[in-house]
Chains A and B, each alone.
Chain A
Amino acid sequence: MGVEEAKGGPVVPESVLKKQKRNEEWALAKKQDLEAAKKKRVENGKLIYKRAKLYAKEYDEKQMELIRLKREAKLKGGFYVDPEAKLLFIIRIRGINAMDPKSRKILQLLRLRQIFNGVFLKVNKATVNMLHRVEPYVTYGYPNLKSVRELIYKRGYGKLNKQRIALTDNSIIEQALGKHGIICMEDLIHEILTVGPHFKEANNFLWPFKLKAPLGGMKKKRNHYVEGGDAGNREVYINELIRRMN
């Protein structure tokens, strides 16, 4: 493979030359990749800013709209009925032991494998019936914007390559959901809140939330919410529970 002599002398081994050339090529390719990535990141940043602004406006509008409709109805003497909620947040409130197999399986399907795990859920006949069967083991309700935002920002982890990866950067979200047009946290929150066309993929990307035991305690796990306990549908009051558990 060439005569070994002092480096920089008249005869440099061929292997050394080959390695040098290879290293240079790699360095060049790496630099080009870095520049391209940087440019893309800058563009993305602008896009994300615009979208976040758009969503902020949209949320404000929705809130104002709701208030306006309520006031108008009150004025006319009628009532404004909120549309049925499209989004649910479910929290498992009972532990592992002493569960019948059907309920166990349903909780597994809902990805609630641990006590105080929480997931978002779309409302349709299928899911509602599933929830009905596991009512004594869960509590659920309709989360508002603040709940969704705080859950995803503080305890949001994504499923990337079957691993639970913290959402520390928008690139993680883009890698997983880029093909559905969701490239940042705000996109994700918007998709979850307004149950969008890619809710399924976005929700499945989110690892089930591991919440802490509620500060201030629960009323009574064994009973339904309407009888003074905690289980079952507590509609809007889920938000208060989320504040205590997040």
Chain B
Amino acid sequence: MAAARPLVTVQPLEADMATDSATTVHLPDVMKAPMRPDVVRFAHANLSKNKRQPYAVSKSAGHQTSAESWGTGRAVSRIPRVSGGGTHRAGQAAIGNMCRGGRMFAPTKIWRRWHRKVNVNLKRYAIVSAIAASAVPSLVLARGHRIESIPELPLVISDSAESVEKTSAALGVLKQIGAYSDAEKAKDSHAIRPGKGKMRNRRYINRKGPLIVYGTEGASLVKAFRNIPGVEIVNVERLNLLKLAPGGHLGRLVVWTKSAFEKLDSIYGSFEKPSEKKKGYVLPRAKMVNGDLSRIINSDEIQSVVRPIKKEVKRAPMKKNPLKNLNALLKLNPYAKTARRMALLAEAERVKSKEEKLERKRKPITKEEAAAIKAAGKSWYQTMISESDYAEFENFTKWLGVSQ
């Protein structure tokens, strides 16, 4: 990942020497860290609770009476009532949360847990995500910054900006780098806050403009830029999540000075090399190195082992009864056709031969046939009445009782 470190050009300002044309800096590995909006939202939600001031009602509110219940039998409710007499207040209900002038339900206490602890690693993860997000133009645009005229993201300007002393000069710097429209947007959005916050010392609101990050301690640019509405200044060694991701949303427009940009590498380290400033801290790794799912799916490695797309959904065919439906029968038993054909033919044969037999029987017999029958009967009778060695009666052994 660190092999291809793209170059970021440092935007020159007018005060620069014209000799060093377009110096470039390597992109620090922080800008390639995974962007986790869920981590940032969590960290921001909890860290923003840390600047709160406690509020509570007075602990004696509502109890500064010697009220006592009148008890039953007096045709009034049993709520404690103010003792004494001679004034409106006497006999009025007191103390309960439902009573006028009584104490509220669950009076707020100052020992409410106002601040939240966030794990150090989580805080660092969130900051690293926010820095990475500030390098992505679509995220910065989505957050609402006017970046149409800035030359490059991440926006790095030369160190001569750190020695700017006058606010007018500061505005000029912003104009040169194209961040002026963003600052202008913040200035124009100065308005009175809707809601009760107005009367609670939070009268005005405006949008956030660019965030200037400087590298050297005690740079005079702090004083120059701090009166510009919307613009915030922060030292690179003390980056604040609440400024890098205002409202928990990633993508603040960040303007880096060259020394700040170069310091990022040593402050946050890289994916393998631990940071020098933060003890034992290594940049977090993303769950997926290549998050582009469609590219992965369409890659050769996957497409070569993928099975063909099944466009036609195969549905089960309707079961037809083969005993009734001839085609269904033939599908299962192709021999059935010839079998049935043979059966039909055999049936037709049988019918025909029966017809013929009946025909013959119903026809009167011819003289020759009648004579033949008579002669056969006569000869048989002759054999019966004559004594013969008729021994071929194996068929009759059963009832004749004579063995062969």
Do the two chains belong together in a single complex? yes
Determine if B335 and A170 form an interchain contact, defined as CB atoms under 8 angstroms apart.
no
Determine if B316 and A165 form an interchain contact, defined as CB atoms under 8 angstroms apart.
yes
Interface bits B315-329 vs A (CB < 8 Å: 1, else 0): 011011111000011
Determine if B308 and A168 form an interchain contact, defined as CB atoms under 8 angstroms apart.
no
Identify B335's interface contact among A1, A154, A166, A186, CB under 8 A.
A186
Interface bits B149-163 vs A (CB < 8 Å: 1, else 0): 000000000000000
Determine if A18 and B303 form an interchain contact, defined as CB atoms under 8 angstroms apart.
yes
Determine if B303 and A168 form an interchain contact, defined as CB atoms under 8 angstroms apart.
no
Determine if B317 and A22 form an interchain contact, defined as CB atoms under 8 angstroms apart.
no
Number of A positions contacting B (CB below 8 A): 26
In the complex, which residues of chain A have a beta carbon less than 8 angstroms from the beta carbon of B383? none
Interface bits A48-59 vs B (CB < 8 Å: 1, else 0): 110011001000
Chain B CB within 8 A of A15 CB: yes
Docked Cα-Cα span, A153 to B323, in Å, equals: 7
Determine if A26 and B308 form an interchain contact, defined as CB atoms under 8 angstroms apart.
yes
In the complex, which residues of chain B have a beta carbon less than 8 angstroms from the beta carbon of A98? none
Residues from 178 to 192 in A contacting B, C-beta threshold 8 Å = 184-186
In the complex, which residues of chain B have a beta carbon less than 8 angstroms from the beta carbon of A30? 308
Determine if A56 and B298 form an interchain contact, defined as CB atoms under 8 angstroms apart.
no
Q: Chain A contact residues: over half helix, strand or loop, or mixed?
A: helix
Chain B CB within 8 A of A45 CB: yes
Docked Cα-Cα span, A1 to B295, in Å, equals: 9
Docked Cα-Cα span, A56 to B332, in Å, equals: 15
Chain B CB within 8 A of A131 CB: no
Chain A CB within 8 A of B57 CB: no
Chain B CB within 8 A of A81 CB: no
Given contacts A153-B329, A154-B323, contact A52 B335 (CB under 8 A): yes
Q: Can you name 15 extra interface pairs (CB under 8 A) apart from A49-B334, A153-B322? A: A18-B300, A22-B303, A29-B308, A30-B308, A45-B334, A48-B335, A52-B333, A52-B335, A53-B335, A154-B321, A154-B323, A166-B316, A169-B332, A170-B331, A170-B332
Determine if A168 and B328 form an interchain contact, defined as CB atoms under 8 angstroms apart.
yes
Determine if A168 and B323 form an interchain contact, defined as CB atoms under 8 angstroms apart.
no
Chain B interfacial positions (CB closer than 8 Å to A)? 295, 298, 300, 303, 308-309, 316-317, 319-323, 328-329, 331-336, 338-339, 398
In the complex, which residues of chain B have a beta carbon less than 8 angstroms from the beta carbon of A169? 317, 331-332
Report the nearest B residue to A188, measured CB to CB: B332
Given contacts A30-B308, A150-B323, A154-B323, contact A48 B331 (CB under 8 A): no
- The A/B interface has a contact count, at CB < 8 Å, of 59
Determine if A56 and B339 form an interchain contact, defined as CB atoms under 8 angstroms apart.
yes
List 3 tightest A-B contacts by C-beta distance, closest first: A52-B335, A166-B319, A26-B308
Identify B333's interface contact among A18, A22, A77, A184, CB under 8 A.
A184
In the complex, which residues of chain B have a beta carbon less than 8 angstroms from the beta carbon of A26? 308-309
Chain B CB within 8 A of A202 CB: no
Report the nearest B residue to A29, measured CB to CB: B308
Q: For residue B324, give the distance in angstroms from its CB to the closest CB of chain A.
A: 9
Q: For residue A74, give the distance in angstroms from its CB to the closest CB of chain B.
A: 11
Determine if B334 and A15 form an interchain contact, defined as CB atoms under 8 angstroms apart.
no
Determine if A18 and B322 form an interchain contact, defined as CB atoms under 8 angstroms apart.
no
Report the nearest A residue to B317, measured CB to CB: A168
In the complex, which residues of chain A have a beta carbon less than 8 angstroms from the beta carbon of B295? 1
Residues from 17 to 76 in A contacting B, C-beta threshold 8 Å = 18, 22, 26, 29-30, 45, 48-49, 52-53, 56
Docked Cα-Cα span, A56 to B322, in Å, equals: 17
Report the nearest A residue to B303, measured CB to CB: A22
Q: For residue A166, give the distance in angstroms from its CB to the closest CB of chain B.
A: 4
Docked Cα-Cα span, A185 to B322, in Å, equals: 11
Chain A interfacial positions (CB closer than 8 Å to B)? 1, 15, 18, 22, 26, 29-30, 45, 48-49, 52-53, 56, 77, 150, 153-154, 165-170, 184-186
In the complex, which residues of chain A have a beta carbon less than 8 angstroms from the beta carbon of B398? 77
In the complex, which residues of chain A have a beta carbon less than 8 angstroms from the beta carbon of B321? 153-154
Determine if A56 and B317 form an interchain contact, defined as CB atoms under 8 angstroms apart.
no
Docked Cα-Cα span, A29 to B303, in Å, equals: 16
Identify A48's interface contact among B322, B323, B334, B339, CB under 8 A.
B334
Among B308, B309, B329, B398, chain A packs the most CB atoms within 10 A around the CB of: B308
Report the nearest B residue to A55, measured CB to CB: B335
In the complex, which residues of chain A have a beta carbon less than 8 angstroms from the beta carbon of B320? 168
Q: For residue A72, give the distance in angstroms from its CB to the closest CB of chain B.
A: 14
Docked Cα-Cα span, A234 to B386, in Å, equals: 57
In the complex, which residues of chain B have a beta carbon less than 8 angstroms from the beta carbon of A154? 321-323
In the complex, which residues of chain A have a beta carbon less than 8 angstroms from the beta carbon of B338? 53
Report the nearest A residue to B306, measured CB to CB: A22
Given contacts A18-B303, A30-B308, A56-B339, contact A167 B332 (CB under 8 A): yes
Identify A18's interface contact among B298, B317, B331, CB under 8 A.
B298
Q: For residue B339, give the distance in angstroms from its CB to the closest CB of chain A.
A: 6
In the complex, which residues of chain B have a beta carbon less than 8 angstroms from the beta carbon of A166? 316-317, 319
Identify A184's interface contact among B298, B316, B332, B339, CB under 8 A.
B332
In the complex, which residues of chain A have a beta carbon less than 8 angstroms from the beta carbon of B316? 165-166
In the complex, which residues of chain A have a beta carbon less than 8 angstroms from the beta carbon of B339? 52, 56
Docked Cα-Cα span, A153 to B300, in Å, equals: 49
Q: For residue A42, give the distance in angstroms from its CB to the closest CB of chain B.
A: 11
A-B contact pairs, 5 of them (CB 8 A): A52-B339, A53-B335, A56-B339, A153-B323, A169-B332
Report the nearest B residue to A25, measured CB to CB: B308
Docked Cα-Cα span, A151 to B194, in Å, equals: 83
Determine if B303 and A52 form an interchain contact, defined as CB atoms under 8 angstroms apart.
no
Docked Cα-Cα span, A166 to B331, in Å, equals: 14
Q: For residue B322, give the distance in angstroms from its CB to the closest CB of chain A.
A: 4
In the complex, which residues of chain A have a beta carbon less than 8 angstroms from the beta carbon of B303? 18, 22
In the complex, which residues of chain B have a beta carbon less than 8 angstroms from the beta carbon of A53? 335, 338
Docked Cα-Cα span, A53 to B339, in Å, equals: 8
Among B298, B319, B320, B332, chain A packs the most CB atoms within 10 A around the CB of: B332
Q: For residue B400, give the distance in angstroms from its CB to the closest CB of chain A.
A: 13
Docked Cα-Cα span, A130 to B333, in Å, equals: 35
Report the nearest A residue to B398, measured CB to CB: A77
